[in-house]
Amino acid sequence: MVTAEEIRQALERVLTSAEFAGSPRLQSFLKYIVEQELDGHGSSIKGKVIATDVYDKELDENGGALNLVRVEARRLRRALENYYSGAGRSDPLRITMQTGGYRPQFERSFATKPSVGQSQSESSNSFGLWRHRLLLPFVGSTLLLAIVLGYVGLSGSQSKTEFATVKSSAELAALRERSITSVQAVNLAEQTRGLFFPLIDLRRQAINLETFRYVIELDPNLAAGYAGSAQVLTLKSLLTSDTDASTALVAEALEMAERATTLDPLDGWSQAAHGWTLAVTGDSSGALRRARIALDLSPQDGHTLDLIGITALVVNDPVFMAEVSDPQRSRLGVGRFAYNNIYGASQLMLGNYDTVIEAFSKAAERGHPVSPPSLFLLATAYHETGNTAGAEKAIVEMLDTWPDFPAHEVIARFFVNDSATRSRVLSVLDMYSPS
């Protein structure tokens, strides 16, 4: 039987730890759910209640308040895991919060010594490792099905692009020596990063994020899971209209990006993901520094080049953007790339409108992602070259296909540092939208 006094002592140890001392929001979250449980209201702890009682947020149709709670809950679970794997390892009582709910649980900790030849981490994690191995075919089935279906639809769409797996056979063999799950994690991350585009497909991004989190579970020491999570979380923070949720998302993205570059500073994708995150936070110089490091490390990795390209877009460096997205550049990797669309956007920023039209036309021919941004950028180029019929057709097609797409907000956020292009695109959008 765990007493209320023991629980409050456990709570105090956590709240004053290094993992929580600098995060008042996580402290408030944890203290609230523990006190609610102690007061006998544990069954009433729901996301909507936390949103109003802890974060003083009203529920809205867009679900921004509930998204904020979900993001903060993930941060809370990770912070608790970090604490109990470090400073709180010997605590007599542990507070946990299982995935899928917000009700706290309290567990007594019984320390056991590892057997001879077995490390402490191996001893404590052996059940978890076998759980992942046994559940792998089931837990990941939905995500893997989505990935497989995505590749079926992409078959044969990139005839001019050279393909190769990023990890060499020697690297995979080395990972296999560590564990089979490490190889599985690498392969899953490599497949999933090929599904990043089109950016504005939020259901796709939800699958991507869940898969990258699963990669982290499979191998917490692999940079790929953190790099992938960082790039998706950053995108979600850019696209959400809820300020608090956006702040929480980008904060988590920075944690993931920093973890990725700490684990593998020589990995170009990790550096690119870190640069992308810095760009969205407003640190343009830091973003470009990371992006150029990524380019030096992985000059032919197609997914890294795409990530560098959208980073250059946000920080308003169209020349660098054009360099990394040049359609003539050699690329390696699996999945599909967005270089034609990124190149087209760079040429719009530079005022080369005929090249914009050519780039987006070739993107469609090659099966590259088609999305609202590609259509309103194409419409702008048509307008600037005097083709008003083409401009109107592109805008109408966009509105018919994606009637609820928040075009004005997306334009404002992606061109946040390029007021001239932003004004030009918004003007065309308003001009050709049916009244």
CA 22 to chain centre: 24
- Which of these CATH numbers, 3.40.50.1820, 1.25.40.10, 1.20.120.1750, 3.10.150.10, describes 130-335? 1.25.40.10
- The answer for residues whose C-beta is within 8 angstroms of residue 169's C-beta and 6 or more apart is none
Q: Are 302 and 331 in contact (CB under 8 A)?
A: yes
pLDDT at 186: 87
In terms of DSSP bridges, do strands 104-108 and 93-97 run parallel, antiparallel, or are they unpaired? antiparallel
pLDDT at 294: 97
| DSSP characters over 198-243 | STT-HHHHHHHHHHHHHHHHH-TT-HHHHHHHHHHHHHHHHH---H
Fold of 338-435: 1.25.40
pLDDT at 287: 97
Instruction: State the DSSP H helix or E strand holding residue 105, giving kind and residue range, or none if neither.
Output: strand 104-108
pLDDT at 163: 34
- Estimate the crossing angle of helix 284-297 against helix 268-281, to 10 degrees: 170
- The Cα–Cα gap between 46 and 321 comes to 45
Instruction: State the DSSP H helix or E strand holding residue 93, giving kind and residue range, or none if neither.
Output: strand 93-97
pLDDT at 21: 80
What is the SS3 assignment for 272?
A: helix
Q: Indicate the domain borders of the chain.
A: 4-111, 130-335, 338-435
* Structure tokens belonging to residue 389: 């019929």
pLDDT at 393: 93
Q: Are 97 and 72 in contact (CB under 8 A)?
A: no
Ramachandran quadrant class, 155 (left: phi over 0; alpha: psi -120 to 50; beta: rest): beta
pLDDT at 61: 54
Per-residue pLDDT tens listing for the chain (435 residues): 789 999 999 999 999 998 888 788 899 999 999 999 999 998 889 888 898 899 888 776 556 677 788 888 888 998 998 899 888 989 999 999 877 688 999 988 754 333 334 444 333 333 333 333 333 333 344 444 444 344 333 333 343 333 334 455 566 566 566 668 888 888 899 999 999 988 988 889 999 999 999 999 888 889 999 999 999 999 999 988 888 888 889 988 999 999 999 999 999 999 999 999 999 999 999 999 999 999 999 999 999 999 999 999 999 999 999 999 999 999 998 777 899 999 999 999 999 999 999 998 877 676 666 789 999 999 999 999 999 999 999 999 999 998 888 899 999 999 999 999 999 999 999 999 987
What is the SS3 assignment for 104?
A: strand
- The answer for residues whose C-beta is within 8 angstroms of residue 219's C-beta and 6 or more apart is 178, 179, 181, 182, 185, 186, 225
31, 36, 42, 121, 389 from 39: Cα distances, Å: 12, 5, 8, 36, 66
Instruction: State the DSSP H helix or E strand holding residue 142, giving kind and residue range, or none if neither.
Output: helix 141-154
CA angle 328, 231, 58 (to 5 degrees): 140
From 351, 408, 328, select the one nearest 376 (Cα to Cα): 408
From 250, 292, 254, select the one nearest 271 (Cα to Cα): 292
Q: What is the DSSP letter of 16?
A: T
pLDDT at 118: 40
pLDDT at 318: 96
- The answer for residues whose C-beta is within 8 angstroms of residue 60's C-beta and 6 or more apart is none
Q: Provide the whole-model pTM.
A: 0.66
Q: What is the DSSP letter of 333?
A: -
Ramachandran quadrant class, 312 (left: phi over 0; alpha: psi -120 to 50; beta: rest): alpha
What is the SS3 assignment for 107?
A: strand
Q: What is the DSSP letter of 43?
A: G
pLDDT at 171: 64
- Count of CB atoms within 10 A of residue 198's CB? 18
- The Cα–Cα gap between 79 and 30 comes to 11
Amino acid at 59: L
- The Cα–Cα gap between 255 and 258 comes to 5
pLDDT at 63: 62
pLDDT at 62: 56
What is the SS3 assignment for 332?
A: strand
* Phi and psi at residue 106, to the nearest 5°: -125, 125
Q: Do 130-335 and 338-435 agree at the fold level?
A: yes
Which residue carries 């967005």 as its tokens?
Answer: 338
What is the SS3 assignment for 316?
A: coil
- The Cα–Cα gap between 187 and 208 comes to 14
